[in-house]
């Protein structure tokens, strides 16, 4: 019964995120630039120093310090989404997304878009599976190790009404076939959704390093790697996955853009609160202008 209640509450939170929340401070927002981040926040499976209860305040500090307006978050359990809503909700943030599936074996993790309703309102949103049957929740294909999803939202910026599309995903960590085909599906959906020229952002943990013949290369054939088109030099380390080490060793977290987007800066955030890490990934962010 508790699980059913939790699922219902989370679905209500997701539904409320689009079109139902209005901030009294929207008129105070400076209109032109904003910050988008991809952030694998790590599930709550750890104990001790890396327990979620210890990491949550660090996540909140990083979001506040850097002024992330939109966050593509990966690996969140339902309780973590509720915790983020409790801590960031008073600042105007809501969450959109769902778990990979409600199947009892894979009901623990999901990917979400968090955005600040002081800056943006949601017009539409949805989630699809990275499979041959993308509209069937929980479906799997291409030897993926577990169900994988992509969450998206069409947002409208308060003040000037500028519209943008944001997609967030977490590709499979085992199957190269799943990563490639999952990215092909995502790119296809982005192309269809942006036929009218709407700017788009693709955020996520791709679970692979840059290469012409993998998921990163597939994304690059249709979109631009934000790091490559930034108008100022990249800040921070290039690598993003730390595995709880002081330094990151692999680049697997990305932000891609398409359409009339100016990328003003690109940063990997290794400047951690008190030197303590909120995750085994560094967040990556861009400041952009439409």
pLDDT reported for residue 107: 57
pLDDT reported for residue 251: 98
Domains in the chain: ranges and CATH: 2-289 (3.60.10.10)
Q: Pairing state of beta strands 163-170 and 200-205?
A: parallel
Task: Tell me the per-residue pLDDT of 5-63, one tens digit each, with 9 for 90 and over.
Answer: 333 334 434 444 564 343 333 333 345 899 999 999 999 999 999 999 999 999 999 99
Q: Is 36 helix (H, G, I), strand (E, B) or coil?
A: strand
Among all chains, which residue has been given the structure tokens 């989630």?
127
Query: Which residue in 196, 205, 187 sits closest to 164, CA to CA?
Result: 196
Q: How far is CA 116 from the centre of its chain?
A: 13
Instruction: Decide: residue 48, CB within 10 A, 0-12 exposed, 13-18 middle, 19+ buried.
Output: exposed
pLDDT reported for residue 32: 84
Give the number of residues written for the chain.
Answer: 290
d(CA 134, CA 184): 12
- Ramachandran sector of residue 50 (left: φ over 0; alpha: ψ -120 to 50; beta: rest): alpha
Over the chain (290 residues), the average pLDDT of each successive run of 10 is: 34 46 37 92 95 97 96 96 96 93 70 97 97 94 95 97 97 97 98 97 98 97 98 98 93 98 97 91 97
Strand order in the sheet with 70-76: 93-99, 110-116, 70-76, 33-40, 284-289, 262-268
d(CA 177, CA 198): 29
pLDDT reported for residue 104: 62
d(CA 111, CA 227): 23
Query: Which residue in 99, 117, 252, 108 sits closest to 173, CA to CA?
Result: 252
The CA distances from residue 245 to 15, 31, 57, in Å, are 38, 38, 20
d(CA 258, CA 127): 20
Over the Cα atoms of the chain, what is R_g? 18
**H or E stretch covering 83:** helix 78-88
The CA distances from residue 202 to 159, 257, 258, in Å, are 24, 6, 9
Task: Tell me the per-residue pLDDT of 206-221, one tens digit each, with 9 for 90 and over.
Answer: 999 999 999 999 999 9
DSSP 204-256: EE-SS---TTSHHHHHHTTSEEHHHH-SS--BS-S--B-TTSSS--B--EEEE
């Amino acid at each position: 019964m508790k699980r059913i209640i939790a699922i219902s509450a989370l679905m209500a939170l997701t539904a409320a995120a689009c079109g139902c929340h209005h901030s009294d401070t929207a008129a105070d927002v400076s209109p032109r630039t904003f910050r988008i981040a991809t952030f694998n926040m790590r599930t709550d499976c750890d104990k001790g120093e890396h327990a979620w209860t210890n990491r949550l305040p660090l996540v909140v500090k990083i979001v506040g310090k850097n002024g992330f307006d939109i966050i593509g978050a990966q690996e969140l359990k339902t309780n973590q989404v509720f915790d983020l809503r409790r801590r960031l909700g008073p600042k105007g943030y809501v969450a959109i997304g769902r778990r990979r599936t409600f199947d009892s074996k894979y009901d623990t993790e999901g990917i979400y878009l968090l955005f600040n309703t002081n800056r943006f309102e949601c017009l539409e949103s949805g989630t699809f599976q990275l499979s041959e049957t993308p509209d069937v929740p929980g479906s799997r294909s291409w030897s993926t190790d577990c169900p994988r999803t992509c969450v998206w939202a069409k947002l409208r910026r308060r003040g000037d009404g500028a519209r943008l599309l944001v997609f967030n995903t977490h590709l499979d960590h085992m199957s190269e076939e799943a990563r490639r085909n999952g990215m092909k599906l995502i790119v296809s959906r982005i192309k269809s959704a942006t036929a009218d020229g709407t700017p788009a952002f693709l955020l996520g943990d791709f679970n692979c390093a840059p290469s012409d013949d993998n998921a990163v290369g597939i994304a690059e054939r249709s979109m631009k790697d934000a790091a490559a088109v930034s108008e100022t030099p990249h800040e921070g380390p290039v690598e993003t996955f730390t595995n709880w080490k002081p330094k990151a060793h692999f680049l697997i977290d990305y932000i891609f853009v398409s359409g009339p987007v100016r990328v003003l800066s690109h940063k990997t955030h290794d400047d951690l609160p008190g030197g303590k890490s909120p995750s085994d990934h560094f967040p990556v962010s861009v400041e952009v202008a439409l």
